[in-house]
Amino acid sequence: MRTLVHFETMGGEWAVPIERVHEVRLPIGIAPLPAPKPGIAGVLRRGDEVLTVLSVLGDAAGHVLVLEGAGERFGLVVESAIGILRVEESAITATPAGQENPVVSGVIRADEQRMILILDTDELAKGLQ
């Protein structure tokens, strides 16, 4: 059984392993960078930390997930956090082909019409470099 944080963007439904999520927060206080790389929404202060916030899934910012990946802590802009999802390993299919960077690590077929893509936070963190 895997426990995931389930969220959505304009592009669909997504999930990340719960052990990689530090916090779900409102997008208040995101400061834009003057010349950001593509997929960077800006920076966000979290206590004594300044986190880079990714917008690789879209710009609609209803929530920011504070994630851990590849030894880095960073934010990810999402439209809305849905909740916790518990899924049997057998319900997760393999990584889809055709990705330039293997950011999607698996697919959950939620029902006949819906699927949830599982993100690899280590691969997402490579966008910070």
pLDDT digits (tens, 9 = 90+) for 40-49: 999 999 999 9
pLDDT digits (tens, 9 = 90+) for 4-20: 999 999 989 999 999 99
Contact 50, 44 (CB under 8 A): yes
Element (H, E) at 125: helix 121-125
| Assigned CATH topology for domain 2-128 | OB fold (Dihydrolipoamide Acetyltransferase, E2P) (2.40.50)
Element (H, E) at 8: strand 2-9
| pTM (whole model) above 0.85 | yes
Burial 28-67 (b: 16+ CB within 10 A, else e): eebeeeeeeeeebbbbbebeeeebbbbbbbeebbebbbbb
**Domain assignments of the chain as residue spans, ordered by start:** 2-128
* Distances in whole angstroms, Cα of residue 128 to Cα of each of 54, 69, 115, 121: 8, 10, 27, 11
Element (H, E) at 92: strand 92-93
pLDDT digits (tens, 9 = 90+) for 81-128: 999 999 999 999 988 788 777 899 999 987 888 899 999 999 999 888
* Mean pLDDT computed over every residue of the chain: 93
Closest CA to 106 of 117, 90, 122, 91: 117
Q: How far is the C-alpha of 54 from the C-alpha of 120, rounded, in Å?
A: 14
